[in-house]
Amino acid sequence: MRDVDRADMAARGKIGGYARAAKYPAEELTAAARAAFMGRFLREVEERNPGLPDGERQRRAKALLNGYMAQLARASALARRKNGRKAVRS
């Protein structure tokens, strides 16, 4: 078995990733991951309230997603404050 240079493999992976990103729209590349992530919130809504119309399920799942993201943002801000770093502004 030949030795694998990890740095070279990382560089090859990066090159391949850029080549793929140049060929396809970002939405297409991430569609499956985004659908699976949103599915988590849709399942939670369905477990809490079975049989809701699709539009209402989507609305509630989006609200759960927004709440989850707000929790992540708060945790990040608290961690930065604890470590003495300032908030990141976009």
Q: pTM of this prediction? A: 0.71
Instruction: Give the pLDDT score at 63.
Output: 98
The angle formed by the CA atoms of residues 22, 26 and 30, to the nearest 5 degrees, is 130
Predicted local distance difference test score (pLDDT) of residue 83: 85
Place of tokens 């694998």: 4
Please report where in the chains the tokens 């590349």 appear, as a residue. 29
Q: 36-40, 43-47, 76-80: lowest mean pLDDT where?
A: 76-80
How many residues belong to the chain? Answer: 90
Angle of CA points 40, 75, 31, to nearest 5°: 35
Tokens (6 digits) for 9: 């493999």
